[in-house]
Chain A
Amino acid sequence: MSFSQNREPITIEDGFKLIDAAVTKLTRIIEGKPEPPFLPEEYIGNYTIVYNMCIQKPPHDSSGPLYEKYGAILQAYDKLTILPSIMEKHDEYMLRELSRWWEINKIMVRWLSHFFYYLDRYYIARNGIPSLTVVGMTCFRDHVYEKVHFNVKQVVIALIHKEREGQQIDRALLKNVLDLFVQNGMGNMERYEKDFEDFFLTETNSYYSRKASSWIQEDSCPEYMIKAEESLKKEKERVSHYLHSDTEPKLVANVQTNLLVSVAKQLLEKENSGCSALLRDDKTDDLSRMYRLYHAIPQGLEPVAVAFRLHVTAEGNSLIKQAEDAATSGIVEEQVLVRKIIDLHDKYMAYVTDCFQNHTLFHKSLKEAFEIFCNKKVAGSSSAEMLATFCDNLFKKAANDKSNDDSTIESTIDNVVKLLDYISDKDLFAEFYRKKLARRLLFGKFSDDHERSILTKLKGQFGGQFTSKMEGMVTDMQLGKDQQTGFEEYLKNANTGKPKGIDFTVTVLTTGFWPSYKTSDLNLPLEMVNCIESFKAHYEIKTNHRRLMWIYSLGNCNLTARFDAKPIELIVSTYQAAVLCAFNHTERLTYQELIDQLNLSHEDLVRVLHSLSCAKYKFLKKEPASKTISKTDSFEFNSKFTDKMRRIKVPLPPVDDRKKVVEDVDKDRRYAIDASLVRIMKSRKVLPHQQLVSECVEQLSRMFKPDIKMIKKRIEDLISRDYLERDTENPNTFKYVA
């Protein structure tokens, strides 16, 4: 056809006829039927028909009818050709048909739009109506997609099920089909979601719910977890192969809920293979898997953390029970117990850092578990006391046995500090520790390095106030050495008061750092009195305004006892020495005479006499020779005594001061509570009861867990001392009295 300005207008009838012919040819081509392709002239010709019909002057301008025609062509094609072909087929064949016709349709729409292109440029643009492509797609959607999507979806889901059960399916086909769903949404995902995804997820839900029920019955926990992990992997692959990526999070959540969340309790608590068993048997791989699986689920780790905590608590409790059962005659083997607890801590901390990736939830669970059993009493001993005794034994051994390398000691110290964190009565520990530290420092060897090391670590963890007294004690010992040198210098230089042949060492303790000790008005033997006097003189020169309080109960003495057979050196306490020396001047003394002479308390004298006359070494003869001391006894120096040893150490059994320590700590707690209450009320002025109590507990929690009843009583005490008063309107609120 040639361009010619003045030619006859094309009528709609004629024009449509030409178009129909072109369409017929087109369909034959795209359906793969034998048909020669469009020649360029034909192609241009088709375009030109439309063009001419559009630009014709009215009444022959046919843009509107052409637009309609375009739509009608496609609609007819969809309804009469495409749809029936698809509906003829079933199952996978139907999918293939659909897929094929979808491609064909796209080509059809493309070509046809090219022919009708002129409409797009002016008519459509001017009128704001859907473009040719949109019309084409809408047509397919309305006349094909809407009719078949339900059945298609059924087939797709059936195929997916097949694949889940292990069979091979045509993934590419599924991808095409699902792409089709997406594209038929025409800009949004609604069609994909409503017509496919929702059903798919429902089906997935019941599939995995069934699987979960059967696996949980048949499989052990590790086996189940492997299957779960595998399932998640497969489903994710499924997304990459043919599902839309939007589906992934929903799919994953679905599978997780069914396989992991709803069965969590059953799974974790499985006997012989659940969380507890895995922890017990050191199955790190399985535990890591457990963590991985549950970590991916929001709040999924919580049941695992709970199972962890319960297991650790049970382990700890059984250690405590073992120790309780093993405690014969009420004596706990705290060395064994503490070591076991330390080992338990190391073992489960390793799980936390490795399998559980250092997650805070597990740190918290571990802490909570330890806090439960670390605060239990064993055979009357509190954990605070046991830990203090443990340290005592550790340091005593270390000081005596230099072969222990420092790094083991250091790591044990680190463990002790960690354990102390779990113990709520930290102040009780401090008090026991202080008492035992005093004995270590005064009676035997101690390693300055080790003592300082633990104090530094305790200070770092619990603050300077916790360790200040103990540090002071260790420093006193340090200073004591210098002081002793100074004293000996003084003795050499001063002409007066050199004690006659008695070597004399004095350790000056700063009151306040050291535990309080009773003084006694012991009447010392004369030789010792001279020593005391000379030191006093020296000290008064050195210092101003300081009062010395002599604690003879802490002293010890080396005596040479001249028995008939041979002289033996006795290492005894000052009290014991005083009693023995009394026999220097008299052969025989009664109990009463000894009391009068020495001015000891009955309690102390009985203890001393027992150790010298009824115990392993009988330096004194007792009359009557019974096993206990009575006030009517009399004593004589046992000159017949002998032993193969040349030196004998006679221990004076220490008084059990556990009760006193607990009392002292209770007293200190009352002051601490008072101080805390006053501090809080001073700053808040007015505060309701519950808040006051909880703030007080919070403030003191670093050192101990205050008893609520005690706090209440202290509040009442403060009221009667006019520090606080009740609000007249509201008796549950307190006011600070300035």
Chain B
Amino acid sequence: MPPRSASKPSKKRSNPDSVTSSATGPVPSASSKKKASKEVDGTDKLFDKYANASSGVIDPEGIEKLCSSLEVPHTDIRILMLAWRMKAERQGYFTKGEWRIGLKALKVDTIGKLKKALPELEKEVREPLNFRDFYAYAFQYCLTEDKQKFLDTETICQLLDMVLGSTFRAQVDYLIDYLKIQKDYKVISMDQWRGFCRFCNEISFPDMTNYNLELAWPSILDDFFEWLREKQA
């Protein structure tokens, strides 16, 4: 589950989907209608298990329940991946429409199947093209205010750990150290966020011999590079 915990007060946003909204996607044909509707039924029933009865959406509490059902810690990246699959818009909440999209894409309708589908999902997300999209989504997902463009460094540290930690442990650890120590940057933009991923993918570490200060790396990475160089000396 993305970093914002369940206890954070909800922010002003447009009203979440109500229970009565229609499902997205094409109208099923007559023959598959029965199967489709059966799927939808299963999916919907599953949804209702976790959703908040009054608001009609799965709220942070519900997500926590979902996590324990899936036997996955709620700060695990796989929940974020699930959110990505669902194209969930609001951090901490899944609407019925989003739920349907996600589960349909995974072709599951029970909690057991969902649990089994998680490794497959992870593999899919880690494919380069998808990962790029997922990575940007992770940032976007954490923006809670309307027109918000930046995330605070604390959140970024947690995100980095979650999203890149398993693949680029060393880089992430140093980046987090740096972000905590430095005073110039209080918030991070999407461009800088994307820069981190590019850095991990392209720059050999820890020697960083192919890093070039003359290129268009975001300044924060130039500063990180110089900071690390000094540390290594």
Contacts and interface: CB of A to CB of B under 8 A. Distances in A.
Contact of B216 (A709, A720, A731): A731
Contact of A719 (B189, B214, B215): B189
Interface of B: 149-150, 189-192, 198, 214-216, 218-219, 222
Nearest to A689: B216
A734 interface: yes
Pairs of residues from A and B, 5 with the lowest C-beta to C-beta distance, nearest first: A689-B216, A720-B189, A732-B216, A719-B191, A712-B219
A713 B216 CA distance: 10
Most buried by A among B150, B189, B191, B215: B191
A726 B216 contact: yes
A719 B222 CA distance: 17
Given A690-B214, A731-B198, A720 B149 contact: yes
B182 to A, nearest CB: 14
Interface string A726-738: 1000011110000
B78 to A, nearest CB: 27
Contacts of A690: 214-215
Contacts of A732: 215-216
B189 A716 contact: yes
A734 B218 CA distance: 13
Contacts of B216: 689, 712, 715, 726, 731-734
Nearest to B195: A731
Given A716-B192, A716-B218, 20 more contacts: A689-B216, A690-B214, A709-B222, A712-B216, A712-B218, A712-B222, A715-B216, A716-B189, A716-B219, A719-B191, A720-B149, A720-B150, A720-B189, A720-B190, A720-B191, A726-B216, A731-B216, A732-B216, A733-B216, A734-B216
Contacts of A716: 189, 191-192, 218-219
A229 to B, nearest CB: 48
7 contacts: A689-B215, A709-B219, A715-B216, A716-B192, A731-B216, A732-B215, A734-B216
Nearest to A717: B189
Most buried by A among B149, B198, B219: B219
A161 to B, nearest CB: 59
Contacts of A715: 216
Contacts of B215: 689-690, 732
Interface in A680-738: 689-690, 709, 712-713, 715-716, 719-720, 726, 731-734
A726 B191 contact: yes
Contacts of B219: 709, 712-713, 716
B132 to A, nearest CB: 9
A648 to B, nearest CB: 50
Contacts of B191: 716, 719-720, 726
A618 B198 CA distance: 69
Most buried by A among B192, B218, B222: B218
Contacts of B192: 716
A291 to B, nearest CB: 40
Contacts of A731: 198, 216
Nearest to A728: B132
A150 B189 CA distance: 85
A733 B216 CA distance: 8
A732 to B, nearest CB: 5
Interface string A551-572: 0000000000000000000000
A715 B219 CA distance: 10
A473 to B, nearest CB: 37
A28 B3 CA distance: 124
Contacts of A713: 219
A709 B226 CA distance: 13
Contacts of A720: 149-150, 189-191
B191 to A, nearest CB: 5
A227 to B, nearest CB: 50
A227 B200 CA distance: 67
A65 B117 CA distance: 115
A572 B192 CA distance: 55
A711 to B, nearest CB: 10
A608 B219 CA distance: 46
Contacts of B222: 709, 712
Contacts of A719: 189, 191
A288 to B, nearest CB: 45
Interface string A48-74: 000000000000000000000000000
Interface in A646-696: 689-690
Contacts of A712: 216, 218-219, 222
Contacts of B150: 720
Contacts of B189: 716, 719-720
Contacts of B190: 720
A726 B150 CA distance: 17
A733 B215 CA distance: 10
A666 to B, nearest CB: 15
A723 to B, nearest CB: 12
Nearest to A726: B191
Nearest to B150: A720
Contacts of A733: 216
A656 B19 CA distance: 66
Nearest to A688: B216
A713 to B, nearest CB: 5
A304 to B, nearest CB: 34
Contacts of A734: 216
A572 B180 CA distance: 53
B48 to A, nearest CB: 41
Contacts of A726: 191, 216
Interface string A220-243: 000000000000000000000000
A221 B190 CA distance: 65
A438 B61 CA distance: 65
A715 B190 CA distance: 14
A719 B150 CA distance: 12
B92 to A, nearest CB: 25
B188 to A, nearest CB: 10
A574 B149 CA distance: 48
A715 B150 CA distance: 16
Most buried by B among A690, A716, A733: A716
